[in-house]
Amino acid sequence: MSEVRAAPTGRVPAYMTELADRVGGLAERDSSAEGSASLVRRMAKWAPPERGGRASAVLILIADSDGEPDVLLIQKAAMLRNHAGQPAFPGGAAEPADADLSATALREAAEEVGLDPAGVSVLATLPVLYLAPSGYIVTPILGYWHTPGPVRVNDPGEVASVARVPIAELADPENRFQVRHPSGYIGPAFGVSGMVVWGFTAGLLSMMLELGGWARPWNSSQVRDLEIPAEVSAILP
């Protein structure tokens, strides 16, 4: 597990401290609370293999705008080799110079969208998860953006767009549904900020909504076929 850095005193809202505590319980995988235990079981499908895989990290970065939290998402470029065109959290593979996986997540966010790491307090990590399509073993890092600054697309070959999505928009039942991938996969999704967020990222967002107490009842029986952009489907195997 990567090092968890202490947050500056007085800079973190109470709801973020509570969320970090609940995330820490998941990371220890010993929570006895029914809701947390259910989340741990749900995460089992992403359990890493005993061998292989490349260490990586993603940054779940939450900011507060006058009491209204939001989360930073990117949309990957359509011509990437892995996860082309998908909405995602900033992040990527660990490098030898990274002090830990928190440093990996912050470095990748700086490279992808120009995030200033000095404005972020790393609060907790989620359990390590595995993305079979890319072979990445991913550590999700929960951060609080105590001093938000400008973000942008640094490299159009890597990132197509950047958005700060309000938590209230994600929790709105009108924006929640399930998608069916051409492979047969069915899972949760969000229609927000002109994006359909699905797969691994949608699964983590669903967990954050539940752990943060933001989740609202929604119609999980509504299943839509996932529309793959032509430029992305052209490079799919």
> For residues 130 and 208, which has the higher predicted lDDT (pLDDT)?
208
pLDDT averaged over every residue in the chain: 84
* Region of residue 66 (phi > 0: left; psi between -120 and 50: alpha; otherwise: beta): left
pTM, whole model, 2 decimals? 0.86
Strand 91-93 versus strand 87-88 pairing type: unpaired
Tell me which of 73 and 234 has the higher pLDDT.
Answer: 73
Considering the chain, what percentage of its residues have pLDDT values greater than 70? 78
What CATH topology corresponds to 22-166? Nucleoside Triphosphate Pyrophosphohydrolase (3.90.79)
Written as one letter, the residue type at 67 is G
Identify the pLDDT of residue 37.
Answer: 45
72-108 confidence digits (pLDDT tens): 999 998 665 555 678 999 999 999 999 999 999 999 9
Identify the top-confidence range among 75-79, 171-175, 182-186: 171-175
The pLDDT assigned to 160 comes to 92
Of 9-13, 59-63, 138-142, where does mean pLDDT reach its minimum? 9-13
- Which region among 29-33, 58-62, 184-188 has the lowest average model confidence (pLDDT)? 29-33
pLDDT given at position 18:
95
Per-residue pLDDT tens for 17-50? 999 999 988 755 544 444 444 555 566 566 666 6
Tokens 């996932």 found at: 226
Please state, for a pLDDT cut of 90, what percent of the chain lies above it. 61
For 214-226, what is each residue's pLDDT tens digit?
Answer: 999 999 999 999 8
Whole-number pLDDT of residue 40: 52
